[in-house]
A and B are shown apart, each in its own frame.
Chain A
Amino acid sequence: MADKNVPVIDRQKCTLCGMCVDACPEDVLAIEAGNLVFADAGACTMCAACESICPERAVTVYYHISWADKEE
């Protein structure tokens, strides 16, 4: 199962246009050696700016929904 703590990239759909790289407020994403990579995955806040801007719908952000008082 893909890591749900960072956005999931569909590499079949990604055209490496770089719009998500520019949109990310935390500079999490980068294009390196012809690949979209997580340059700093730990800084990702899952704000979904990358998902919103991707023209190919290649980026997906997953959320689990819970009450604060049930968090462990």
Chain B
Amino acid sequence: MKNDWEGISLFLRLSPQCAQAVDACAWPVTYLAGDAVVWEEDECKALYFVRSGAVEIYRSALDGREHTLGVISPGQGFNLVPVLRKESKNPANARCIQDTTLLALGREDAQRLMDRYSDLAIALAQEMAARLEMMTRKAGALALDSVRQRLAAFLIAEAEKGKSDPEIYWTRDDMARQIGTVRDVIGRNLREMEAQGVLRRVKGNIVLLDRERLQKIAQGSDTT
């Protein structure tokens, strides 16, 4: 193999012949933190797999507000929609939130290989299904949960990440984009949770103290 596919689960599910063909068409690309990878509505050139680092997928409004749809960690892919739907526009923006290495697979190559290797089509559909499940949960949370619930769920999810996941430093703006609110509301909720002993802020860390109560807040069963 000319590329390093370690940790990219989709690739590991491919037959040897298919994996060889995908590897021959793919190429590595590196970005610095803050760099844009794709812009929404631009012509889709490729789908991507994250080797290292992290990529934020987001949509932006005309007034400049942004909402984060997800953060793609090592092993996961993004920009799958225009490949599977055979439409040519990127559906969302993607930018690196750390120095990042990606493996890119050209859109036309991906479509040609899907026609030839059903295991690639199935693997991409499975990856897409996982993303759809994540988006369904997110849409439900935005519609049904309070900001306090969404913030608690976000804090738990972030703190649960393992040592192999990228270590991400969050601003209050970042957190606001993740859960669909604004910076000041994040600050107010963090202060309230700190006053209640659920967490404490120490230097550059938000340290979560009370797992049980935080989970109750996330579930909506602690409204104090």
Which residues of A line the B interface, CB within 8 A?
A: 4-5, 44-48, 51-52, 60-68, 70-71
Knowing A65-B208, A67-B159, the reply to whether A5 touches B203 (Cβ < 8 A) is yes
User: How far is it, in angstroms, between the C-alpha of A13 and the C-alpha of B168 when the chains are bound?
Assistant: 24
Distance of B183 from chain A, by nearest CB (Å): 8
Considering the chains assembled together, what is the distance between the CA atoms of A47 and B171 in angstroms? 12
Specify the chain A residue showing the minimal Cβ separation from B173. A60
B172 / chain A contacts, CB cutoff of 8 Å: 48, 51, 61
Within 8 Å by CB of B158, from A5, A51, A65, lies: A65
When each residue 182-206 of chain B gets 1 if its CB lies under 8 Å from chain A and 0 otherwise, what string results? Answer: 0110010000000000000111111
Return the contact of B170 from the options A44, A52, A63, A68 (Cβ within 8 A): A63
Most chain B beta-carbon neighbours within 10 Å: one of A45, A62, A64: A64
- Can you list 8 pairs linking A and B with CB atoms under 8 Å apart? A51-B172, A62-B169, A62-B204, A63-B170, A63-B204, A64-B167, A66-B205, A66-B207
Question: How many angstroms between the C-alpha atoms of A19 and B159 in the bound complex?
Answer: 33
State whether A63 touches B201 (Cβ < 8 A): yes
Of A46, A67, A68, A70, the residue contacting B204 (CB under 8 A) is A46
A67–B206 touching, CB < 8 Å: no
Question: What distance in Å separates the Cβ of B189 from its nearest Cβ neighbour in chain A?
Answer: 13
CB distance from B211 to the nearest CB of A (A): 7
Contact B204 A64 (CB under 8 A): yes
Q: Are B203 and A66 in contact (CB under 8 A)?
A: no
B129 within 8 Å of A by Cβ? no
Interface SS, B side: mixed
Residues of B within 8 A of A (CB-CB), count: 24
* Docked CA distance A68–B209 (Å): 5
Q: Which of B207, B209, B211 has the most CB of A within 10 A?
A: B207
- Contact check, B207 vs A68: say whether CB atoms are below 8 A apart: yes
CB-CB contacts below 8 Å: B120-138 with A: none
Indicate if B113 sits at the interface (CB-CB under 8 A): no
**B72 contacts the other chain (CB 8 A):** no
* Chain A residues whose CB sits within 8 angstroms of the CB of B142 once the complex forms: none
Closest B residue, CB atoms, query A65: B158
Q: Would A67 and B201 count as touching, CB distance under 8 A?
A: no
Q: Does B81 contact A (CB under 8 A)?
A: no
Minimum Cβ distance to chain A for residue B159 (Å)? 5
A53 CB, min distance to chain B CBs, angstroms? 11
Q: Does B84 contact A (CB under 8 A)?
A: no
Specify which chain A residues have a CB less than 8 angstroms from the CB of B160 in the assembled complex. 67
Inter-subunit contact A52/B203 (CB<8 Å): no
Please state if A48 and B187 are interface contacts (CB–CB under 8 Å).
yes
Most buried by B among A52, A65, A68, A71: A65
**How far apart are the CA atoms of A41 and B204 in the complex, in Å?**
12
